[in-house]
Structure 1
Amino acid sequence: MTATFRPTERLTLPQQWHALDPIWQGNEAAVQQGLPHSQLAPAWQILLLGDGSPTRHLQLLTGEPTEVDVIDMSAIGMDLDHAPTQIQVVPGPRLRRQVWLRTASGQRLAYATSWWEASHVDEYLQNRALPIWASLARLRTELYRDVQGICYGHSLALEQAFGQPGPFWGRHYLFWHHGQPFTLIYEVFSPYLEKYLGAMQPR
């Protein structure tokens, strides 16, 4: 019998990213149909299930510029990184980017992890401190935000980072450009946004 060895890249990968431990998950069909309002209020559905820019939405909600704190830029090669399965359509080798989205005054509003084809990341993120939407808008990049799934779950790390108790709502989506997927993004939003959007679930 011939032994089969897996690459050891996983052992040397940098810090992990903050995935939710799901209570409930919805696929692309749930995204297209929308959720019962008793499960997720309409204003939150616009934010989570719509195909608009979250950084732009956050700026409009808060009246402050949305700024980015980059906390991780790691080469992960061909590793699947425990990411949503759609990572497989993003060409490799890949680079993982993790950020906090916050107001200019410092309030954290969301967490995002994105996976990019490493050879093209500098093309799209010329200023890595800018939100992705701002970077792509400067380049006049035409793209399609394809929401693939939604999740409701817990994360102790995000509770500590947001200063808010869970559970949290998150989603993941692909960006398409010229008919090809070029990045996968996973976002989780802070319950602090109830200040602007109202309760996540009717009480």
Structure 2
Amino acid sequence: MTATFEYPDRADAYRTWNALDLIWHGGEDAVRNGLPHQQLAPAWQMLLLGDGSPTRHLRLLTGEPTEVDVIDMSAIGTDADGAPDLIQAVPSPRLRRQVWLRTASGQRLAYATSWWETRHIDDYLQNRSLPIWENLSRIHAELYRDVQGIYYGHSQPLEQAFNESGPFWGRHYLFWHHGQPLTLIYEVFSPYLQNYLGPMGGRGRARGKGQEARGKRE
């Protein structure tokens, strides 16, 4: 199945997405080795740095099904879209998808933006109202979640959407399928999850691994 999209005028096609304004950013070394516990508590590191399904983790934490509210499906063509540099691994033309992950009772727990090759998105997201992992599980896709970066920063739109004060923790990763990059995903988690995971830790103020906060989204 092949997706077909209209390409509207540039002003309409380019909707913003909610990247964090960075206080701190960690790359592959931080992901591989973990962070000092005073910077990010162990339970939060398991959520952010692990390669398991976040929707599965959220369901186990809350005891409720994890549901998806799709808020944006925009054709962006060959544009880099202000995304992490790994967007270049996803063939163009591309489509950007933005969602809220929430409990069945309505509590927003996470925000996610993903970038897909336009021609094949319907092959993998056959039911767009379901989380990505459930779509891919239904077609028995063998996947590898390759976490590449972790973020700590502010976002006024996410403060309003989560009804929680920042800063927030987020990450980006590639999904690999049959040795090829399938999609790039950028996720930010709500501090509401402290009700299940406990305090986040030292709120990210340490400069772990020698990384400095950067204005560029990597």
Using structure 1 for the length normalisation, give the TM-score.
0.94
* Paired amino acid for 2:170: G
1:11 CA drift (Å): 4.2
Relative contact order: is structure 1 or structure 2 higher (C-alpha 8 Å, sep ≥ 6)? 2
Q: What CA distance in whole angstroms lies between the structure 2 residues aligned with 1:130 and 1:14?
A: 24
Root-mean-square deviation (CA, aligned residues, Å) is: 1.2
Q: What CA distance in whole angstroms lies between the structure 2 residues aligned with 1:28 and 1:145?
A: 13
1:138 CA drift (Å): 0.6
Aligned residues: 195
Asked whether 1:182 is paired with 2:200, we answer no
Which residue number in structure 1 is paired with residue 35 of structure 2? 35
1:28 CA drift (Å): 1.0
Which residue number in structure 1 is paired with residue 22 of structure 2? 22
Which residue number in structure 2 is paired with residue 104 of structure 1? 104
Asked whether 1:80 is paired with 2:80, we answer yes
* Paired amino acid for 2:104: A
Which residue number in structure 2 is paired with residue 137 of structure 1? 137
**What is the identity percentage for the equivalent residue pairs of Structure 1 and Structure 2?**
76
Q: What CA distance in whole angstroms lies between the structure 2 residues aligned with 1:10 and 1:29?
A: 37
Which residue number in structure 1 is paired with residue 198 of structure 2? 198
Where do residues 38-57 of structure 1 align in structure 2 (5 Å cutoff)? 38-57=38-57
Q: What CA distance in whole angstroms lies between the structure 1 residues aligned with 2:168 and 2:182?
A: 27
1:12 CA drift (Å): 4.5
Q: What CA distance in whole angstroms lies between the structure 1 residues aligned with 2:194 and 2:60?
A: 14
1:41 CA drift (Å): 0.1
1:10/1:79 contact within 8 Å kept = no
Which residue number in structure 1 is paired with residue 116 of structure 2? 116
Which residue number in structure 2 is paired with residue 5 of structure 1? none
Gaps of 5+ in 2: 1-8, 204-218
1:29 CA drift (Å): 1.3
Q: 4+ runs of 1 displaced by more than 6 Å? A: none
Q: Secondary structure at the match of 2:193?
A: helix
Q: What CA distance in whole angstroms lies between the structure 2 residues aligned with 1:140 and 1:32?
A: 27
1:117/1:183 contact within 8 Å kept = yes
1:145/1:174 contact within 8 Å kept = yes
Which residue number in structure 1 is paired with residue 159 of structure 2? 159
1:182 CA drift (Å): 1.2
Q: Secondary structure at the match of 1:86?
A: helix
* Paired amino acid for 2:37: H
Q: Secondary structure at the match of 1:35?
A: coil
Q: What CA distance in whole angstroms lies between the structure 2 residues aligned with 1:14 and 1:30?
A: 32
Q: What CA distance in whole angstroms lies between the structure 1 residues aligned with 2:127 and 2:149?
A: 28
Q: What CA distance in whole angstroms lies between the structure 1 residues aligned with 2:121 and 2:13?
A: 19
Which residue number in structure 1 is paired with residue 128 of structure 2? 128
The Cα offsets for residues 110-155 of structure 1, whole Å up to 9 and x where unpaired, read as 0000000000000000000000010011111001000000000000
The Cα offsets for residues 82-121 of structure 1, whole Å up to 9 and x where unpaired, read as 0000000100000000000000000000000000000000
